Structure 1
């Protein structure tokens, strides 16, 4: 189930994004970004609807997924 980001309180959205980033693992990019930079980048992607927040009822977990891949 997709959770509309607009329905989340701003603090909740930021906490969710930071939690996702911290559990995501190692960053293999050319340039290391700070947590705040990664958070802002992911928030931008969410607001541009490039990625979606997904709740799994089966596993009772929340995740952030590429919208195109998720909707296939």
Structure 2
């Protein structure tokens, strides 16, 4: 199930995105980015619809995934 990012309180969204960024360990290339910059980049992806917040009832987890890879059974 997709959770609209707009439905989350600001602090909740910030904590979710920060947790995602820290968990993912994404490679940002040669240029280092601060945690705040990485968080803002993910939030921008949520705002533009490139990424979505997904809740899995089966696993009782929340994750951020690319919108084009989301499946209703997640």
What TM-score comes out, normalization by structure 2 length?
A: 0.88
* CA-CA distance at 1:38 after TM superposition: 0.1
- The match for 1:10 is 10
What TM-score comes out, normalization by structure 1 length?
A: 0.90
What is the root-mean-square deviation of aligned Cα atoms in Å?
1.6
Q: Following the alignment from structure 2 to structure 1, what is the Cα–Cα distance between the partners of residues 63 and 26?
A: 17
Query: Runs of 5+ in structure 2 lacking a partner?
Result: none
- The match for 1:67 is 67
Query: Runs of 5+ in structure 1 lacking a partner?
Result: none
Moved more, 28-37 or 55-64: 28-37
| Cα deviation 1:19-65 (Å, max 9, x = unaligned) | 00011125252211110000010111101111000011111111101
The equivalences for 1:22-41 within 5 A come to: 22-25=22-25, 27=27, 29-41=29-41
How many residue pairs get aligned? The number is: 72
Runs of 4+, deviation exceeding 6 Å: none
